[in-house]
């Protein structure tokens, strides 16, 4: 199989602090995006800059986001306003022997670019399906499809995964050498992860209806 080309280096994706934690590997970027559930979209609007959380999906080398056509930020993105989309996982709290060296273990992707609206009804339906399958794998097989009126009430944008910065921190604290003599101060990592709870049925679900596989055994890539 051909090796995916690395992410290009641009002025916006050049990592200034701790550049050794960066990677240009597309597979690493895809893995971080596929495991995430929430992204933050930042852009400048006529009312000033905004950063808003939303769900997303990935299809190949494009990121898919959606929302109401009435949303100011989404309309701005559809008009060609440059956007910045971030996805971050916090994998652990890094506790050092001094406040200065406390940190977090994390994996992050920052994507820059200009999104374009998905207008073809079939492509829009496929994009929305990709977002649902990203959030709840297997759910599409359990529910009805989107109606035409629902597609008309939804704005979908796709953003090329071309100009992106990927950064990962792992491992323990990096203490000053002199602080290693503080034998009465604990240092280390407190791991963190997202865990699913027990599914709770809606009040109007008939009694005895079994929990579907997508909810009974939820799964995330990389977990």
Q: 91-143 pLDDT, tens per residue?
A: 999 999 999 999 999 999 999 999 999 999 999 999 999 999 999 999 999 99
Q: What is the pLDDT of residue 195?
A: 87
Q: What is the pLDDT of residue 219?
A: 77
| Residue 83 contacts residue 115 (beta carbons within 8 Å) | yes
Confirm whether pTM is higher than 0.85: yes
Residue 147 lies in a domain: yes
What is the spatial distance between Cα 118 and Cα 204, in angstroms, rounded to a whole number?
34
Is 95 within a domain? yes
CATH no. for residue 101? 2.30.110.10
Backbone φ and ψ for 217, nearest 5 degrees, come out as: -130, 65
Neighbours of 67 (CB within 10 A): 18
Is 13 within the bounds of a domain? no
In a domain, 106, yes or no: yes
Residue 9, in any domain of the structure: no
pLDDT of amino acid 135: 94
192 located within any domain = no
In a domain, 8, yes or no: no
Q: Within 10 A of 78 (CB to CB), how many other CB atoms are there? A: 18
Phi, psi of 127 (to 5 degrees): -65, -45
Structure token digits, residue 60: 């190949």
Residues with pLDDT less than 70, the chain: 1-3, 222-223
To which H or E segment does residue 106 belong? Answer: strand 103-113
30, part of any domain: yes
User: Which residue range is the domain that position 87 belongs to?
Assistant: 19-173
Number of domains in the chain: 1
């Amino acid at each position: 199989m051909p090796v995916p080309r690395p992410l290009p280096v641009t002025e916006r994706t050049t990592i200034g602090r701790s550049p050794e934690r960066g990677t240009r590997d597309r597979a690493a970027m895809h893995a971080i995006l596929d495991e995430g559930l929430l992204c933050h979209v930042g852009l400048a609007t006529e009312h000033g800059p905004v950063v808003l959380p939303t769900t997303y999906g990935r299809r190949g080398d494009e990121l898919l986001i959606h929302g109401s056509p009435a949303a100011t930020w989404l309309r701005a993105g559809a008009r060609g306003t440059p956007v910045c989309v971030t996805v971050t996982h916090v994998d652990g709290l890094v506790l050092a022997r001094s406040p200065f060296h406390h940190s977090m273990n994390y994996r992050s992707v920052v994507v820059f670019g200009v999104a374009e609206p998905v207008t073809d009804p079939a492509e829009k339906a496929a994009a929305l399906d990709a977002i649902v399958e990203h959030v709840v794998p297997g759910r599409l097989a359990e529910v009805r499809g989107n109606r035409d009126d629902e597609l008309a009430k939804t704005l979908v944008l796709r953003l090329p995964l071309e100009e992106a910065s990927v950064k990962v921190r792992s491992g323990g604290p990096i203490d000053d050498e002199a602080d290693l003599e503080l034998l009465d101060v604990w240092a280390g990592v407190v791991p963190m992860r997202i865990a699913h709870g027990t599914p709770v049925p809606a009040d109007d679900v008939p009694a005895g209806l079994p929990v579907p596989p997508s909810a009974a055994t939820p799964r995330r890539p990389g977990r």
